[in-house]
């Protein structure tokens, strides 16, 4: 419990969805020196901005959460931006962290880095056995290059950097913008608005046959902090629950949680994305004792409740 009391921590992306949960947890753990810059103050695509940030914050631990990300449509419409921004931010940040002598760096990867047809469940050793799903490949590959960089820096410079691979996240504070959100907040918003308006149906993307695994944001934070404290190896580590659900069954679950009584219709002309996603979480449990705690139905309930408070 006392690990974070004396640490200076820099969190990039600290004002995003996961970042806000992480900052709240760090404060509860007794961390008194936290820096969480906004992008308008420090553009992490610019080397000089990163240098200034590290000089001011002088962190013992750097946690890199900052990312340009979104759902299928956002990835399809801005693949170049998703690749360049995510790659350049991470590459320059890791290099400057090395030059600054930061003791420990934690980099967030993405489940989108896995091959489109990786065996289920996704094991970290399968990360390079194929090309990612096409709609989010530029984003996934940009983030995967940071793993290569961390491993190369550990080999040549003895740089203490670790790479965690979270599955799809959800929870309070999520992004509910229908053009950029991920599947859970998008479904919650669509069904809540349909319920309020008395609509007889909602139209959802794809066939509903694809599967996904979801991790409650607070559980992901637990995994990040445990990894920062206890893990120091070059191999990437999955963070998830080890359980998958089809998008159809997810939609039915959210429909029930929201109380929408209309019909669910599927637009088969829209893509499903990756056919299946389920992680093998053995390594995280073995290496630093991480196991997700929040039951999925409870996490959905809390997320719906939070969204309703924001848009009564």
Active-site choice (42, 114, 139, 170)? 139
DSSP state of 180: T
- Cβ-in-10-Å burial (0-12, 13-18, 19+) of 101 comes to exposed
252-272 burial: b if 16+ Cβ within 10 Å, else e: ebbbebbebeeebebeeeebb
DSSP alpha helix (H) spans, the chain? 17-28, 47-57, 72-77, 79-100, 137-157, 183-197, 217-230, 247-258, 282-288, 296-310
Cα(295)–Cα(293) distance, integer angstroms? 6
Cα(47)–Cα(86) distance, integer angstroms? 14
For residue 263, list its beta bridge partners.
201
User: Residue 294, SS3?
Assistant: coil
Cβ atoms within 10 Å of 66's Cβ, excluding its own: 23
For residue 238, list its beta bridge partners.
165
- In 3D space, the residue among 211, 186, 210, 202 whose CA is nearest the CA of residue 264 turns out to be 202
DSSP string, 62-124: EEE-------HHHHHH-HHHHHHHHHHHHHHHHHHHHHHT-SEEEEE--GGGSBTTPPSSBPG
Q: Are 175 and 160 in contact (CB under 8 A)?
A: no
Is residue 139 part of the annotated active site? The answer reads: yes
For residue 214, list its beta bridge partners.
168
Just list the catalytic residues.
139
């Amino acid at each position: 419990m006392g690990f974070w009391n004396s640490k200076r921590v820099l969190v990039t992306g600290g004002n995003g969805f996961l970042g806000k949960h992480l900052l709240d947890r760090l404060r509860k753990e007794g961390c008194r020196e936290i820096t969480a810059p906004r992008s308008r103050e420090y553009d992490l695509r610019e080397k000089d901005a990163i240098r200034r940030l590290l000089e001011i914050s002088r962190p013992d631990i750097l946690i890199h959460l900052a990312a340009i990300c979104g759902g299928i449509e956002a990835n399809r419409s801005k693949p170049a931006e998703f690749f360049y921004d995510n790659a350049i931010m991470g590459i320059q940040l890791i290099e400057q962290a090395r030059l600054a002598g930061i003791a420990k760096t934690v980099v967030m990867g993405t489940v989108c880095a896995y091959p489109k047809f990786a065996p289920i469940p996704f094991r970290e050793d399968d990360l390079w056995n194929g090309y990612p799903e096409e709609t989010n490949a530029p984003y996934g590959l940009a983030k995967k290059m940071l793993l290569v960089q961390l491993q190369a820096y550990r080999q040549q410079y003895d740089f203490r950097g670790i790479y965690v691979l979270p599955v799809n996240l959800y929870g309070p504070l999520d992004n509910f913008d229908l053009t950029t959100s991920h599947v859970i907040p998008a479904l919650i918003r669509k069904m809540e608005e349909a319920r309020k308006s008395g609509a007889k149906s909602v139209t959802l993307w794809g066939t509903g046959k694809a599967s996904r695994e979801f991790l409650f944001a607070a559980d992901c934070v637990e995994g990040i902090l445990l990894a920062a404290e206890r893990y120091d190896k070059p191999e990437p580590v999955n963070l998830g629950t080890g359980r998958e659900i089809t998008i159809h069954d997810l939609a039915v679950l959210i429909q029930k949680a929201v109380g929408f009584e209309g019909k669910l219709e599927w637009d088969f002309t829209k893509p499903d994305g990756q056919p299946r996603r389920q992680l093998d979480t053995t390594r995280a449990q073995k290496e630093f004792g991480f196991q997700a705690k929040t039951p999925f139905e409870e996490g959905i309930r809390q997320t719906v409740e939070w969204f309703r408070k924001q848009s009564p």
